[in-house]
Structure 1
Amino acid sequence: MKVGLIGVGSMGGLLAGSFLRAGALSPAEVTIASRTLSKAEALAGRYPGLAVAPSNAVAAQNADLVFLCVKPLDFRAVLDDILPVLTPEQIVVSITSPVKIALLEELVPSKVAKIIPSVVNEAGIGATLFMFGTRLDERDRERLLRLFSAISRPVEIPEEDIRVASDLSSCGPAFFAYLLEQFIEAAVDTTGIARELATVLACEMLAGTSRLLREGGCSPAELQRRVSVPGGITAIALEELGKATEGAFSRVLQKTHEKFAEDLSKVEASLRRS
């Protein structure tokens, strides 16, 4: 399988590296392009055999899969570059949530999918969000699902759920890392525990919690019940935590949805310009 990957910033580089480390792709199967040549060359240096294309069009030409890993407002320029070489047999994969599948299908002759990764895929875990265009057949879907199964758990979602699904899957690591950081800081400031020790304990706690929730058949509500005894230390602390965070995630989601609506409008306008 030949893969052209355009954009090797934080998510494009993460995807390329994750596929290669997992053995889902070999370096010889991947050609990358980036407007920042140093990033592409650095990635190729870590994975000998990975090809660096001189242009976006060269990366896309003759590729079975073309990954567009660029910022939403950069899509128009990239599409202008690659449109002359795209064919109906290719699959164009957008990893950018504000770019709608229907609009992308209007603009390219190829098959289209939208797949939203998460930073945790770098560890070979976590979900990837899958949305399929109308031109993909079952074989195309299986090819994409098999590829991403090497680094994640692919989850197919309706495109209208993309914002909240991305909040949970892709933004979530940052949200909970922030909360974990606050937990560690409070422990250090309140008790004087060594920061390094507090960080180790908190991170191991989070890893164990994740494993219980994923593999132990335990829901978030059940896990709280298992840890807290009525009237005990954890129960009293949970009550205080509930007061402090009441409505916090509703406000967070309101902000992400407001920003997404703004981005949708800007991206559609940029893509429809002639």
Structure 2
Amino acid sequence: MNVGFIGIGSMGSLLIDSFIGSGALKPSQITASNRTISKAKILAERHPGLLVAASNREAAFGSDIVFLCIKPLEFKKVIEELRGTLQPHQIIVSITSPVLLSQLEDWLPCKVAKIIPSITNYLFCGATLCMFGRRITDADKHLLNSMLSHISTPLAIEEQHTRIVSDLSSCGPAFMAFVLQKFIDAAVEETGIPRDEALIIASAMLSGTGQLLTEGGMTPETLQSRVAVPGGITAKALALLDRELDGVFNAVIRATHAKYNEDLEHVAVSLYGKEVNGS
């Protein structure tokens, strides 16, 4: 199996590193192109045998699966390049959430799918969220899920839920890291504990908490009840958090959805023009 990657920014390079590191793919099975070709050459030095393509068409030609790891407004240019090269049996996999499956199927003659990876895939854990176009067969789904299962737990979702599941799975690690950072900052400021020490302790705590919520079978509610004794220190702090954070994550979700809706509109205008959206 040959796999092409178009775009090797943060997430594109993470996927390549993870697929190779997990044994899902050998470097010789991968061809990569990038707007800045020097980045592709650096990646090839890190993974000897990986092929650097001089163009997007070259990366796609002969590949069974082609990952599009590009920004929303780059899509029209890239798919215009590819539409004359791609064959019906090939699978295009987009990792760009505001580009819809129906739009890809309008523009391309091949099979299409969409995934939402996560930075947690770098350590072969977390979820990869999967959506499949109408031309994808059960055999294609099996192929993609087999690849992705090396680096994650593949989960099929409905495209209409793209944004909220992305918030939870893909953006979530950054949100939780931000909360942990603020917790550590406060610990250092209030008590003088060395920051390195606080970071080690808090990071180990977060890792263990994640295991309790997955392998341990606990829910967030049961975990809190097991730790917090009524009238105790933890219970008092949880009551303060409940007051102070009331509505915060609702506002976070509204903000991500507002940006997503803007991106949806911009992509549609880019691909079809304003008149398609009634503007």
Query: Which TM-score bucket, shorter chain as reference?
Result: over 0.9
Aligned partner of 2:43 in structure 1 is 43
Aligned partner of 2:192 in structure 1 is 192
What is the identity, as a one-letter code, of the residue corresponding to 2:193? I
Aligned-residue offset at 1:116: 0.8
CA deviations on 1:51-89 (whole Å, 9 max, x unpaired) are 000000000001100110000100111112111110100
Residue 59 (structure 1) aligned with residue 62 (structure 2): no
| Rounded Cα–Cα distance in structure 2 between residues aligned with 1:156 and 1:25 | 22
CA deviations on 1:17-37 (whole Å, 9 max, x unpaired) are 100000000011000000111
Aligned partner of 1:22 in structure 2 is 22
| Rounded Cα–Cα distance in structure 2 between residues aligned with 1:138 and 1:201 | 45
Aligned partner of 1:236 in structure 2 is 236
Aligned partner of 2:247 in structure 1 is 247
What is the correspondence of 1:72-91 to structure 2 with a 5 Å cutoff?
A: 72-91=72-91
What is the identity, as a one-letter code, of the residue corresponding to 2:258? E
| Rounded Cα–Cα distance in structure 1 between residues aligned with 2:41 and 2:245 | 45
Aligned-residue offset at 1:272: 2.0
CA deviations on 1:176-208 (whole Å, 9 max, x unpaired) are 100000000000000010100000000000000
Aligned-residue offset at 1:99: 0.3
| Rounded Cα–Cα distance in structure 2 between residues aligned with 1:22 and 1:187 | 37
Identical aligned residues as a percent: 53
What is the identity, as a one-letter code, of the residue corresponding to 1:78? V
Aligned partner of 2:107 in structure 1 is 107
Runs ≥4 residues deviating over 3 A: none
| Rounded Cα–Cα distance in structure 2 between residues aligned with 1:85 and 1:235 | 61
What is the identity, as a one-letter code, of the residue corresponding to 1:171? C
Aligned partner of 2:129 in structure 1 is 129
| Rounded Cα–Cα distance in structure 2 between residues aligned with 1:38 and 1:218 | 47
What is the correspondence of 1:168-247 to structure 2 with a 5 Å cutoff?
A: 168-247=168-247
CA RMSD of aligned residues (A): 0.6
Q: Which moved more, 1:57-66 or 1:75-84?
A: 75-84
Aligned partner of 2:149 in structure 1 is 149
Unmatched segments (≥5 aa) in structure 1: none
Aligned partner of 1:260 in structure 2 is 260
Unmatched segments (≥5 aa) in structure 2: 274-279
| Rounded Cα–Cα distance in structure 1 between residues aligned with 2:205 and 2:236 | 19
| Rounded Cα–Cα distance in structure 2 between residues aligned with 1:248 and 1:126 | 24
Aligned with 1:215: secondary structure? coil
Aligned-residue offset at 1:120: 1.0
| Rounded Cα–Cα distance in structure 2 between residues aligned with 1:103 and 1:64 | 21
Aligned residues: 273
Aligned partner of 2:276 in structure 1 is none
Aligned-residue offset at 1:226: 0.6
Aligned partner of 1:269 in structure 2 is 269
